[in-house]
Amino acid sequence: MDRGQTSLEPQAKGPCVIAPVRAVLRLRRRVCVLRKRRLLQLGTEPDTGTGALGSSGSSGALRADLDQPKFFTFDSLTELSSRTPRKKRRRRSRVVLYPETSRKYRPRTERQSRAQRCLLLLVAIVGFQVLNAIENLDDNAQRYDLDGLEKALRRSVFGQPAAVGRIMALLRDYLATHVHSHPLLLALHGPSGVGKSHVGRLLARHFQAVLEDGALVLQYHARHHCPELRPVQDCRKELAQRVADVVAQAEAEEKTPLLVLDEAELLPPALLDELHGLLQPQRSHHFHNAIYVLLSGAGGVEITQFVLRNASRMLPPHLHSAGNTQTEEELHSSLRELLAREHPLWNTAAIVPFLLLDKPDVVNCFREEMAGEGFFPEQALAEQLAEQLSYYQVAGHEFAITGCKQVVAKVNLLQHKPAKAEP
């Protein structure tokens, strides 16, 4: 041991200094070699740019870059900008809350074509004219106070609600305008005493009042104006002349005249022919604007039979609008068939049947007549007077055989009762 120690000591002093120096040198050399090798590696390999090696790699590349001659190109900038992480812009919320009723888009400001503008103008003009025409229609109907006429008829004509309704509907329709292609022909048919002449008189009175010219209402009574002894051709000429005068005057005044011909069943065929000719559309236009009302007992028998046959189906007047329409239609068509066989004039007519009057209607006739003659319209007295008339008794109805025909005479008798002798 000692020998070994002693032999080692002198040797140990020399290498003791040199060996670490050598080791250090060796290590340095080794490090240099490694560095060089790494530098060479980095010069050939692409920059991975990750971790510690990456940083050393990039430094190597930078060093290599520094060795390269520098030229400015925009590529480097775009490269840089693409490499630099973009600052994330905060996206603004695009949701906009609109009120329910407003538009959710900006109005378009497209230029309208001229054709489109013309079209709009045309539509506006047509709309204005339509409105104007509607206003004119109302004006024409208002001139004749048809509401007033309807009230008067409903108040004064008993037991004929369907007839009054039909007359009013036809008049309203016709008088809605002043320009016509043909006249209106109303043909009121029914048995005696049911109110045909009464309605004719009410119409004439109303039109005289609203037209403010009595000359525009012609009332023609067959028996009075064309008695049996008078030559028919004279009657015909006279009727034609009278009608021509009335329609000419009405044309000048821009009004619609009314021509009431009573007892039409007594008109000779020549006069019916004349009337038929007056109604033709070939006549000059002022003949088109006129209302003819023919009152006739023709068809009265058929109407009486119809009412008696359908008495159980007949509704009381206050329920009438609820529906007698099917029964009425049957009556209209059978009457038209019957009358058209007599003269073609009836083909162009609006036929209005007047039905038999029930006992309560007759009582109303008495009360009306009594009031008109200055008597107190006592119900009991009116019923007593109505009791004196004759009736068809069918299905719980009592239909007056002569309607209200005898009412005037009976009330006149009341008037002529001898006054009580004064004591």
The C-alpha atoms of residue 358 and residue 195 are separated, in whole angstroms, by 13
The nearest distance, CB 146 to ligand ATP, in angstroms, is 20
Residue nearest to ligand ATP (CB): 195
- Contacts of range 170-175, beta carbons closer than 8 Å, 24 or more positions apart: 170/350, 170/352, 171/144, 171/146, 171/291, 172/141, 172/146, 174/256, 174/291, 175/140, 175/141, 175/144, 175/146, 175/256
The C-alpha atoms of residue 355 and residue 161 are separated, in whole angstroms, by 10
For residue 318, report the phi and psi dihedrals to the nearest 5 degrees: -70, -15
The smaller minimum CB distance to ligand ATP, of residues 147 and 373, is found at: 373
Candidate residues 216, 247, 365, 382; the one interacting with ligand ATP per rule CB under 6 A? 365
The smaller minimum CB distance to ligand ATP, of residues 256 and 364, is found at: 364
The nearest distance, CB 147 to ligand ATP, in angstroms, is 20
Which of the ranges 12-20, 122-130, 236-244, 401-409 carries the binding residues for ligand ATP, by CB under 6 A?
Answer: 401-409
The nearest distance, CB 395 to ligand ATP, in angstroms, is 21
Nearest to 168 by CA among 397, 374, 321: 321
Residue 235 within binding range of ligand ATP, rule CB under 6 A:
no
The smaller minimum CB distance to ligand ATP, of residues 139 and 378, is found at: 378
Alpha-carbon distances, residue 379 vs 34, 360, 375, 388 (angstroms): 144, 11, 12, 15
| Residue 333-362 contact track with ligand ATP, rule CB under 6 A, x = bound | ------------------------x-----
The smaller minimum CB distance to ligand ATP, of residues 235 and 365, is found at: 365
Give the position of tokens 């068509």. Answer: 333
Nearest to 254 by CA among 177, 367, 318: 177
The nearest distance, CB 249 to ligand ATP, in angstroms, is 28
The smaller minimum CB distance to ligand ATP, of residues 175 and 272, is found at: 272
Residue 404 within binding range of ligand ATP, rule CB under 6 A:
yes
The smaller minimum CB distance to ligand ATP, of residues 222 and 250, is found at: 222
Which of the ranges 84-92, 188-196, 229-237, 273-281 carries the binding residues for ligand ATP, by CB under 6 A?
Answer: 188-196
Sort strands 217-221 and 258-262 into parallel, antiparallel or unpaired. Answer: parallel
| Residue 271-310 contact track with ligand ATP, rule CB under 6 A, x = bound | --------------------------x-------------
**Can you tell me whether residue 296 is helix, strand or coil?**
strand
The smaller minimum CB distance to ligand ATP, of residues 274 and 369, is found at: 369
Stretch 133-172 residues interacting with ligand ATP (CB under 6 A): 157-160
The smaller minimum CB distance to ligand ATP, of residues 248 and 311, is found at: 311
Residue 391 within binding range of ligand ATP, rule CB under 6 A:
no
Candidate residues 60, 161, 183, 193; the one interacting with ligand ATP per rule CB under 6 A? 193
Give the burial class of 289: count Cβ atoms within 10 A of its Cβ; 0-12 exposed, 13-18 middle, 19 or more buried. buried
Token readout for 114 is 């001229």
Candidate residues 196, 225, 255, 367; the one interacting with ligand ATP per rule CB under 6 A? 196
Give the position of tokens 């090696």. Answer: 53
Note whether 366 and 357 are within 8 A (CB): no
316 contacts: CB under 8 Å, gap ≥ 6: none
List interacting residues with ligand ATP (CB under 6 A). Answer: 157-160, 190, 192-198, 297, 357, 365, 369, 403-405, 407-408
